[in-house]
Each structure stands twice: as structure tokens, then as C-alpha cells.
A and B are shown apart, each in its own frame.
Chain A
Amino acid sequence: MTINITMAVTLAGLYSIGFYLLMQRSLMRVILGIVVLGHGANLFLQVAGGPPGEPTFVGTAVIEAMVDPLPQALALTAIVITFALTTFLLALSYRSWALLGHDEVQDDVEDRRVAAAERAAREREDEAAEAEVGESERVAGFEAPEAPEAGPGQTDEEAGIR
């Protein structure tokens, strides 16, 4: 099957704009991305039926000249569904704006908390490791009288290098 080059370029444009907008931080742009992507997908479904032809009414044209009606029926259904869901999305985004007072898509709070806990645990581990190093040096330098000062001093130096 051949496909119209104008349609192919339009589809490529709609899909790339849609996905680009989806990547944005602002909720309004994300929703516009969904809308543009939806147009792209529905247009694609239309184009899947092949080149334009005569309307599909019995007796008005020969069957060979008629356009394939199935993708049109599919596209119509898909348009209704995307339309309804876009309306729902707009209502939800209005609620989100009313509740939060801004339209920025935020990070997951619990994700952040888990990541922060992990970072804290790693820092604690590092501190514990450092303390251990200090202790072993203190044990090693037990014969030398000025060892207690040397231990922490060295760890400080190490920290400086780090």
C-alpha cells in the first residue's frame, strides 16, 4: 500500500510535537501533548484506510472506487474516546490546580524519602568507617605517647583529601 507523503510528514510532526510536550514539566503542556498525540493517532487510523475514494453508500459508486470504511469507523470510535478522556483530564487538571495552586508536575514524595534515607544511611556508614579507621590507628599507635592527637588529625586530613 502506498501512503501520501504529506500525511506521513504531518503524522511525524504531530507525534514528535506530542511526545516533546509530554516530556515537559508543566501540566498544561503535558495535556496539550496528549491532545496533539491523540490527533496524530486518530489521523493515523484514518490514513490506514488507504487513499481517498468515493463515499461508501450502496448504489452510489462502484465498489472498487469506494474508500475502505472500517478505519473510518475505528477512527470515529477512537476520536470519541480521546475526546471524552481529554475532557476528564482537563477537569482533573483544574482540580489539581485548585488543590495545589500551581500546575507543575511534581516528584513522588515517597520516592524522594526512600532516596534520602538511603543517602543518609550511606553517610552514616561512611562515618562509621571513618571512626573505625580512627580507632584502628589509635590501637596501632598505642606505643607512641602522642597517638591520640595523631589519630583524629589524620582522619581530618583524609577528609580534606576527599
Chain B
Amino acid sequence: MSFLVALPVLLPLLAAALSLVAGRSPMVQRTLGVVVLTVIAVVAGVLLVEADSAGPVVLKLGGYGPPFGITLVADRLASLLLLVSALVTLAVLIFSVGQRITDFGRRAASTTFHPMYLMLCAGVSLAYLTADLFNLFVAFEIMLASSYVLITRRVTARRVRASMTYVIVSLTSSLLFITMIALVYTATGTVNLAALPEKIAGLPPGVQSSLALLIVIVFGIKAALVPLHFWLPDSYPTAPAPITAVFAALLTKVGVYALIRTQTLVFVHTDSWAVLLVVALLTMIVGALGAIAQNDLNRMLSFLLVSHIGYMLFGLALFTVIGLAGVILYVVHHITVQAALFLVSGLVTRHTGTVSLQAMSGVAKAYPVVAVLFAVPALSLAGIPPLSGFVAKIALLQAGTDVGTPVALAVTAGAVVTSLLTLYAVTKIWAGVFWGKPALPEPDPDPNDDVTVGTGSTSGAMLGATGGLVVVSVLIAVFAGPLAAMSERAANDLLHDEGYRSAVLGQEGR
């Protein structure tokens, strides 16, 4: 059973190598990608059932025991996120293949895209599964290095500036990550996540809180917390739609996951953490206000992404079971919804030929299916019942009022206001893009200009992939009961981590 844990990392890595070799036959690349991601989704489902019924599934790599060897662990949280991520990456891959076939025909090869995309998936899976701080760094690097290549593919003069910002900011945060590992190792003598809590608890409080803060900064840059968010709305919108979708859905969430994992497992927080609560409030409000000021559809969605990272921090900062359960629900909901919104934005820009809200109008009349595909995730993002966003938000708001300290109540109020601001922002998109008389598609006079991008036709694969994600987000709301129960069990694991620690440190894995 335990060998299954290695598959989500191993399969995409091997497939990436094969895909690179098969660079000249696009059909092989496409089939390989779709098959591998489907297998990962199935494996993640099996792991989830297994972890839920019989405790974390553990694999000691190379047979080396702790604390020297590297351990992979699939507990409830890791396998749940693995499952959702696999579904989203699969949908985005199908969208992207559909777009490629529509634009360049069935036989057009793209040598770098498929291998890099699979590498990205391997990095994301490893980040979820690893129980070792340094291995987590390696996972981030696999993920980020492939994202650098994906964001700089076929780069133009305008895009090279944005991708440069992205690469330099991510590299700086990686170097801070190395610094943090060095500090942790100097202080404790181990990098095993399960062995760390005991060692950390013995350190002086000053050292403990500086390490905790450094970790928040390192993962905060990846997760785009305000004031470390500036690079995100700058760089994400410049990439092609499917790539923006997978970045927005997964890269920031992996940062949030690493924050959740380290702050609950490694450091002991018994009360809510006021600093993180204030950061959460700032992230929500600044992101939502930033979104309202934009005129570029993708930039607006990027600011909304930043804003909603704040909700996840809010739940984490409370350090209660119901708060963490809310975060897990929120992450699951947000991964699907955000990816769906960016894919819809890709469909819309292909019809209208521009990303400017002012230039677009009347898409609802011309392409009603696209309008429906936008409306469901957009309303879900704003938290309109009975969609998935409402379920996740109500859990978070309840957790906030349960804690009841003045700061927690203020952030709860801020969360409600942000929800309204999000509704205003998506209404602005709806009014600008979907209502009104259908405008003629904009011609593309300057290929280096990012605002008018030129039109393209869409295919059934693209619509189907987007529709699939929307259906998943609706299913999250339909199965909210079992999912919330599962999140609560996962949150309970996080706060009472003896199960995780004994599974990793115990002499024999299952």
C-alpha cells in the first residue's frame, strides 16, 4: 500500500522525461500527460480513503529511517489537496491541449510545454507529501523552476519584464527559505517535520517566534500575503490563460499549505495569532480594493486571488479545529473556482480579442454558455449560497465569532466586507463583459500589446474542461456535508498531531 505514496511524484517525473524524448510526436505527449494525471487523481482518491479510514500512509524513501531518511506521508489533508490538484491540473491540461489544437492543428508539437507541466505537477505533489523541511524546499524548487519556464515561453518584450519580476522575487524567497533551513538546523539539528516540534519547544521563546516569523515571510511571498503580494498581479496575467489558471490555482495554495503544515505541526500555537490575523485582514481588504481599481480582466482576477488568500490565513491564524476545517474547505473550493475563472477569462478573451473591461460587452448574448460558466464560479467566489464559497465562508465566519477576541471579531467583520467587495468586483466584470450589445471583436494591430490580444476560436475540449471544473465546484457544494466532516477530521489531525508524528517517527511504516 505504501508504495502508492511515491506514485504522484514519481509518475510525472518519469513521464516528463519520456515526454521530452517524444517531443516530435504531439499525440504521445498529450496521451501521456492525460493518462498520468488521471492515474494521480485515482491514486490520490485511494490514499484519501486509506488515510481517512486507517491513518496516514507512510513511505520511507530508500528504507532509511528517521531522522536521516526522507519520509513521504499522505495524511487526510495532503491526500485531499492532492486529489483536488490532480483534477484541476487534468482539466487545465485538456483545456491547453484543446487550445493548441484549435490554434495550430492536430500535428503541431510543443516540445517544452508538456514536460514542464508534468514537472510542475510532480513538484506540487512532492510539496504536499513530504515530511522533511529540506525536501519541501526541493519540491518548491521543482515547482518554481518549471513555472519559470512556463511563464517565459514565447516571451515578448512586454512579458519579459513581468516574468523577470516573477523569477527574481521567487528566487529571493527561495534563498530566504535556505536561510530559514540553516537557522532551523543550527537551532535544532534536524529538518524532519515530525521530529522538529519537540526540539523547537525546547528553544528560547525569542528564537521560536523569530523562526515562526521567518517561515511566515518565506511562505508568505509564495502565497502572496499583503504586503508581499506585489509580484503576483504583475506577473500572472501576462502568461497564457491555462498557465495563469494552474499558477493561480496551485502555486499560491502550495504556499498556504506549507504555512498550515509548519505552523500547526512545528510550532505550537494555543491561542489565535494576532499578527497573522492583522495580515489576513490587510490581505483581504487590499486585494479586494485593488481588484475594483483594475480595468484588465486577468489583473482583476489576480487581485481577487490575493484577496481570498486572506480568508485562508484568517482561518489558520485562529488555530481552532473549526477554523482549520474552514481553511481546508476554503482551499479546496478556491483551487477549483479560481482555475475555472481564469479558464473562462481565457475563453472570453478569445471571443472578444481584448482583456480590457471597457472594450468588452455583450458576451452573454453572443456566447451564453461562456456566461453561465463564468456566473457559477464568480458567484461562488463571492460566497452566494448555496455554492461552495458560501459553505467555506460560513465555516470561517463561525470560527471567527467562536474565538471572539476583539481582533478576531474585527477580521470576521473584514471578511464579510471583503465578500461584499468581491461581489461588487464580479458584478463589475459581469456588467462590463457580459451585458450590453455584443461588441465587434478587436483587431490585433500590435502583437506586443497585452491589452488587445487578438481573437481565436474555441473548441469543445476547452469548453468541456472549463465546464468540468465548474461541475466540480458545484459538487463541492452538493457534498458539503461529508466534505466538511472530512475537513474537520483533517483539522483535528493538524491540531493534535501525535498521529502524524508517530506515523513518521515510528519504527515501521505501514
Contacts and interface: CB of A to CB of B under 8 A. Distances in A.
B359 interface: no
B148 A88 contact: yes
Interface string B247-271: 0000000000000000000000000
B502 to A, nearest CB: 23
Contact of B175 (A77, A82, A105): A82
Interface of B: 68, 134, 137-138, 141, 145, 148-149, 152, 155-158, 160-165, 167-168, 171-172, 174-176, 178-179, 181-183, 185-186, 189, 191, 234, 293-296, 299
Contact of A74 (B152, B160, B191): B191
B175 A38 contact: yes
Contacts of A93: 164
Contacts of A96: 160-161, 164
A20 B22 CA distance: 45
A92 B178 contact: no
A99 B155 contact: yes
Nearest to A74: B134
A48 B185 contact: yes
Nearest to B133: A74
Nearest to A37: B175
A106 interface: yes
A42 B145 CA distance: 18
B202 to A, nearest CB: 14
Interface residues of A, number: 46
16 contacts: A34-B168, A41-B175, A44-B178, A45-B182, A47-B186, A68-B189, A71-B185, A78-B137, A81-B145, A84-B145, A85-B148, A88-B167, A92-B152, A96-B164, A99-B156, A108-B165
A161 interface: no
Contacts of B191: 70, 74
A48 B155 contact: no
Interface of A: 1, 3, 15, 18, 22, 27, 30, 34, 37-38, 40-42, 44-45, 47-49, 68, 70-71, 74, 77-78, 81-82, 84-85, 88-89, 92-93, 95-96, 99-100, 105-106, 108-111, 113-114, 117-118
Contact of B160 (A42, A78, A88, A99): A99
B163 A41 contact: no
Contacts of A85: 141, 145, 148, 171, 174
Contact of B181 (A15, A40, A74): A74
B146 to A, nearest CB: 11
A3 B187 CA distance: 12
B73 to A, nearest CB: 20
B182 A41 contact: yes
A117 B134 CA distance: 46
Nearest to A86: B171
A100 B164 CA distance: 12
Given A30-B168, A92-B163, 12 more contacts: A37-B172, A38-B175, A47-B186, A77-B134, A81-B174, A84-B145, A85-B148, A89-B171, A99-B155, A99-B160, A100-B161, A111-B234
Nearest to A108: B234
Contacts of A89: 167-168, 171
Nearest to A107: B161
A108 B233 CA distance: 10
Residue among A3, A71, A106, A117 with the most chain B CB within 10 A?
A71
B161 A114 contact: no
A102 B367 CA distance: 43
Given A37-B172, A85-B145, A89-B168, A78 B157 contact: no
Contacts of A92: 148, 152, 160, 163-164, 167
Nearest to B168: A30
Contacts of B137: 78
Contact of B295 (A37, A78, A88, A114): A114
B164 A44 contact: no
Contacts of B152: 92, 95
A50 B182 CA distance: 11
Contact of B293 (A42, A77, A109, A114): A114
B178 A105 contact: no
Nearest to A82: B175
Contacts of B167: 88-89, 92
B151 to A, nearest CB: 10
A48 B186 contact: yes
B157 A34 contact: no
Given A84-B145, A95-B155, A106-B161, A34 B175 contact: yes
Residue among A70, A95, A110 with the most chain B CB within 10 A?
A110
A3 B68 CA distance: 23
